[in-house]
Structure 1
């Protein structure tokens, strides 16, 4: 592993995470081991004396403020209190706080802890269609809650609009920096962006279409345990189009032949809980294209992560293939 999350950095973060464990009631013999590296570094802490397991998330600096992190946890707690979704409980420290801090070479690193939730990431096979029916219903419940929930005046989360995804102020960097792009293909993707900008502007952002969403319901953030479908990692939750939650759910499998069946199942599941209009359904493929370009930007701006290293230029080639099909389907010359 190289870059910001090289082996030395992982060890420094592991030690930092271990240093704040006592605040969550963990003993001195607790072990801390790396689970995943993506936007943040996630560790599993295990106490051999009590048998307790906690999942620790050490936040990447410069992405979320402490207020944004606390706002995420406030929504999770509200969702849990209303029994909206199966998601791990954020753990309160002995001092009453949900967020810990440690200094890492002069940089303040924020840490949060969640109860461990058992389960496995779903596989992209035929059984996933049933899973997406459940996920559609879960998404509808999340969105209905978001429309009705009275947020604190201090609540703040990022917005996922065209401007902050593919436009002038992108949260995840510029897709134009992606490996494997040449002038011709850059022009193709520029054409897609212009079309998406127009269609999203037409669609609008009224309260029935745009609000607080999970924004990262990809397979890696779902946990199957028997009949239960759990949802984890609200780190990217923010204000966006409700249909974007479907697009995020098929991240990295957009070209799989199973996707049309997943879309149909998601819509069907959604409609068991809440209306989802034909106009909303017609936007889903556009949100998928938006998300794919956003992921292309993320990979370009996070080259040190295992995901980016695994995907490489093949992901950019897939984005170009999708863009060509997208413009053809939209009737754009």
Structure 2
């Protein structure tokens, strides 16, 4: 999550950064469909094909993580995994660092994947099983992956970042306790190359696309990837499913997802039993990202910013319900 001061539409900035890539001049009108959250993302076209420009301030991202993300995507493509495609710039670089009047930015361009996101289609048991299969295959490939130059951060780095951020918020006593609770719980979990490795961390319905014509899925948004237990991805995926369907339907979908996953990669019932710990990790991390993002406050803020703060407040309240409780 970017800081709130970056969550505004700046098309001059986007166009300035985009000039490092080839694009159809008349496709700038697609900027109307921009979105900004963890990054700014602006669609455009080149040779009539839709692509996405993704950029963020260099102060908000770790360069090593970004390069590691792109290297992992390249690895997945060599294994015929259906990850999104990276587009090199005019300078034959996959990651550009651009100096602008608004500061320095990291930027990358991806091709649009085919199909529609899983949250936009009729979610069937068959699709759910396929969804699990693609995550299982991703984890199988991850378990065989050896980074060549750069390595992602880990859940331990995330907890350390959270601790550093909390120094700025002395009243967040329960959040500080939650860090200790989660760290101690994770330290006791079994860890080997069959249950722990590089995970997507955001393998949710809106980041997985279904192409009905080919009956295949494609995966986007590896920006949050980290080293963690593979069951962390399972927990977040199931949480995403649960948020979209009723409780009765969720039980069936969960069974199908796990069945599909196990067709490609094993996960023990023991690891699945630890998912409440992973959910606590996810809640804490999300809570801190929102807390850090909304730290600065300005006079006479626009209506959209006030409304966003209200949404953050509600979400943070939900995420922190279990703070201070034993696992």
- Pick aligned residue for 1:158 from 133, 148, 153: 153
Distance 1:4 1:128 in 2: 40
What are the equivalent positions in structure 2 for 1:185-200 lying under 5 Å apart?
187=174, 192-200=178-186
Matched, 1:115 2:106: no
Look up the match of 2:197: 211
Pair 1:265–1:196, CA change in 2 (3 A): farther
Deviation at 1:205, TM superposition (A): 3.2
Distance 2:19 2:153 in 1: 30
Relative to structure 2, which stretch is displaced further, 105-114 or 310-319?
A: 310-319
Deviation at 1:158, TM superposition (A): 1.5
Q: TM-score scaled to structure 1, two decimals?
A: 0.78
Look up the match of 1:265: 256
Deviation per CA, 1:228-255: give whole Å up to 9, x if none.
3221011111211111112332567766
- Pick aligned residue for 2:229 from 232, 241, 250: 241
Matched, 1:4 2:20: no
Pair 1:104–1:250, CA change in 2 (3 A): farther
Deviation per CA, 1:251-304: give whole Å up to 9, x if none.
677667545555433322211112211211111222122112211111222239
Deviation at 1:143, TM superposition (A): 1.4
Deviation at 1:94, TM superposition (A): 3.7
Distance 1:124 1:115 in 2: 20
Relative to structure 2, which stretch is displaced further, 73-82 or 58-67?
A: 58-67
Note the residue ranges of structure 2 that are not aligned, 5 or more in a row: 297-303
Pair 1:39–1:60, CA change in 2 (3 A): farther
Note the residue ranges of structure 1 that are not aligned, 5 or more in a row: none
Matched, 1:291 2:291: no
**Paired residues, number:** 310
Look up the match of 1:144: 140
Look up the match of 2:37: 38
Pair 1:120–1:92, CA change in 2 (3 A): same
Matched, 1:96 2:92: yes
Do 1:45 and 1:53's aligned partners in 2 also have CA atoms closer than 8 Å?
Answer: yes
Distance 1:205 1:191 in 2: 24
Q: TM-score scaled to structure 2, two decimals?
A: 0.80
Deviation at 1:211, TM superposition (A): 1.0
Matched, 1:201 2:187: yes
Cα root mean square deviation, aligned:
3.5
Distance 2:231 2:118 in 1: 21
Deviation at 1:201, TM superposition (A): 0.8
